[in-house]
């Protein structure tokens, strides 16, 4: 939805377009596109210098364009028929990165009639809200889809991997804007699917980008720096602390959303961050990483989605395993307790069901629901029964989510014993043989 006819006429008279610095009565700021269904069309939206957006009910106040043009936004032709999509100043002399949109809160606005947020912002809209991005890089905008990440499935990971590989061959790095809930699944999937000589950085937000309190500004700026860095890995770049000070870049196979709402929700699991990334472009490496190189990015997206992720808990019914095997699933990941236990000698022992699954060719991979630490197939008798007698496969220190994604990728690339062998191999930094005490709750 565009602004009302009265506002459009007043803006035209003042020769003001989206991105211009204007005053409306006594308020001054950057003219933003009409937020569509989230605000009434007779309110003009300005971004104030403090970063907040305000809606001003237009009742014929004087509109004036600032004599000094706003330096950070470009004045390109803007059609009021297409209102809602801003134009962004580009920096042609700078290195190019691609902003690849995939929805999530970062691409959302609040619908003030319901209080709920919904995803409908393009990369251009986002970059218009964060004009500093244009100072870091020249940006190509691409959109894969606009989804909340709980609605994503392996086909979405495959599409993102293909798009990212294509973009990597035309820019210095790719930033994927994504919902945060399942970002760590996507990051793991892209880690296995992509062979990349350049950075692939996933980022998102815990507060929608149209709010003054949004975390997307720091996340996007740090992600742009990460995408231009030397770190040629798939990573997640989000707030390191609850303040707007710096971000962590986390290895895609070793990250997890650990809080439902805090801005520093993403933490490294059983590893250190790859690096601290500061908004001024400073990069402090904290782990060894694969370095940027020449060569082409390749996507190998074969994936077998017939996999399940189950949780073992006191009283859990082992029939769930037989259920999935009976439905033709090809692999199962169990989130077991601590070192890898499932009910073993109890009335509802999982051992017969695991043994039957493994002997029918369905691998059962065991990760720890403790999240931190590693599964160990040897230290207790019950563990030896599960791993050595029933034939389960340890995920070691992989998160259950990474083990789930890896199993789907491995099953599409190997058969029989080779699956077990590949699950134990460290393909993309997902297994860390040196766990340090200070990695816990890092």
206 lies in the binding site for ligand GLU (CB under 6 A): yes
120 is catalytic: no
CA distance 357 to 359: 6
Place of tokens 């259950």: 400
The number of CA neighbours under 13 Å toward the Cβ of 119 is 24
Q: Output the CA–CA distances (angstroms, integers) from residue 380 to 240, 257, 377, 384, in the order listed.
A: 37, 31, 8, 6
Within 249-308, the residues that bind ligand GLU by CB under 6 A are none
CA distance 334 to 182: 18
CB of 186 to ligand GLU, least distance (A): 10
Within 66-105, the residues that bind ligand GLU by CB under 6 A are 104-105
Q: Binding marks (x or -) toward ligand GLU, 150..179, rule CB under 6 A?
A: x----------------------------x
Q: Are 28 and 70 in contact (CB under 8 A)?
A: no
CB of 336 to ligand GLU, least distance (A): 26
| Candidates 20, 181, 210, 397; catalytic one | 181
Of the two residues 148 and 234, which places its CB atom closer to ligand GLU in the complex? Answer: 148
CA distance 394 to 398: 9
Of the two residues 106 and 375, which places its CB atom closer to ligand GLU in the complex? Answer: 106
Q: Are 209 and 177 in contact (CB under 8 A)?
A: no
253 is catalytic: no
Residues in contact with ligand GLU, counted by CB under 6 A, come to a total of 11
Helices and strands, counts by H and E, the chain = 11, 23
381 is catalytic: no
Interface residue with ligand GLU, options 39, 73, 100, 148 (CB under 6 A) = 148
| Candidates 180, 186, 301, 393; catalytic one | 180
Helix (H) or strand (E) holding 223: helix 216-227
Of the two residues 105 and 171, which places its CB atom closer to ligand GLU in the complex? Answer: 105
CB of 108 to ligand GLU, least distance (A): 7
180 is catalytic: yes
The number of CA neighbours under 13 Å toward the Cβ of 253 is 23
CA distance 205 to 239: 9
Of the two residues 151 and 436, which places its CB atom closer to ligand GLU in the complex? Answer: 151
Of the two residues 203 and 270, which places its CB atom closer to ligand GLU in the complex? Answer: 203
The window from 121-129, 198-206, 215-223, 323-331 that contacts ligand GLU (CB under 6 A) reads 198-206
DSSP SS3 for 374: coil
Tokens of 127: 């970059």
Q: Are 73 and 79 in contact (CB under 8 A)?
A: no
The window from 34-42, 203-211, 285-293, 314-322 that contacts ligand GLU (CB under 6 A) reads 203-211
Residue with the shortest CB distance to ligand GLU: 179
- φ/ψ (deg, to 5) at 13: -60, -40
Give me the residues that bind ligand GLU (CB under 6 A), please. 104-105, 148-150, 179-181, 204-206
Catalytic residues: 105, 180-181, 257
């Amino acid at each position: 939805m565009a602004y009302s006819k009265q506002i459009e006429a007043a803006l035209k008279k003042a020769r003001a377009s989206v991105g211009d610095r204007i005053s409306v009565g006594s308020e001054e700021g950057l003219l933003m596109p009409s937020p569509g269904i989230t605000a009434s069309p007779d309110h003009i939206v300005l971004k104030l210098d403090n970063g907040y957006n305000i809606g001003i009910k237009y009742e014929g106040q004087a509109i004036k364009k600032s004599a000094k043009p706003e330096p950070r936004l470009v004045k390109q032709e803007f059609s009021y028929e297409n209102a809602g999509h801003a134009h962004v100043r580009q920096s042609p002399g700078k290195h190019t990165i691609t902003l690849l949109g995939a929805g999530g809160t970062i691409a959302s606005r609040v619908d003030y009639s319901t209080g709920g947020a919904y995803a409908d912002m393009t990369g251009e809209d986002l970059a218009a809200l964060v004009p500093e991005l244009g100072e870091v890089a020249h940006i190509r905008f691409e959109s894969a889809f606009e989804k909340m990440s709980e609605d994503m499935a392996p086909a979405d990971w495959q599409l993102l991997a293909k798009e990212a590989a294509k973009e990597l061959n035309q820019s210095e790095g790719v930033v994927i804007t994504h919902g945060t809930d399942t970002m760590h699944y996507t990051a793991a999937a892209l880690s296995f699917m992509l062979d990349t000589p350049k950075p692939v950085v996933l980022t998102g937000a815990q507060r929608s980008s149209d709010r003054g309190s949004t975390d997307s500004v720091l996340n996007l700026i740090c992600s742009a720096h990460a995408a231009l860095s030397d770190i040629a890995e798939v990573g997640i770049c989000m707030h390191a602390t609850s303040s707007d000070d710096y971000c962590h870049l986390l290895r895609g196979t070793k990250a997890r959303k650990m809080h439902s709402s805090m801005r520093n929700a993403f933490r490294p699991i059983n590893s250190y961050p790859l690096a601290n990334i500061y908004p001024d472009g400073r990069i402090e490496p904290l782990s060894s990483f694969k370095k940027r190189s020449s060569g082409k990015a390749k996507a190998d997206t074969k994936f077998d989605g017939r996999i399940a992720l189950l949780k073992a808990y006191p009283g859990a019914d082992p029939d769930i395993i037989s259920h999935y095997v009976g439905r033709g699933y090809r692999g199962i990941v169990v989130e077991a307790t601590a070192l890898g236990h499932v009910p073993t000698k109890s009335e509802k022992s999982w051992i017969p069901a695991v043994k039957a699954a493994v002997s029918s060719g369905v691998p059962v991979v065991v990760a720890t629901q403790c999240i931190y630490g590693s599964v160990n197939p040897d230290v207790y008798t019950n563990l030896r029964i599960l791993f050595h007698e029933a034939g389960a496969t340890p995920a070691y220190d992989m998160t259950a989510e990474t083990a789930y994604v890896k199993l789907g990728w491995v099953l599409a690339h190997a058969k029989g014993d080779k699956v077990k062998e590949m699950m134990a191999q460290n393909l993309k930094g997902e297994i860390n043989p040196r766990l340090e005490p200070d990695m816990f709750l890092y």
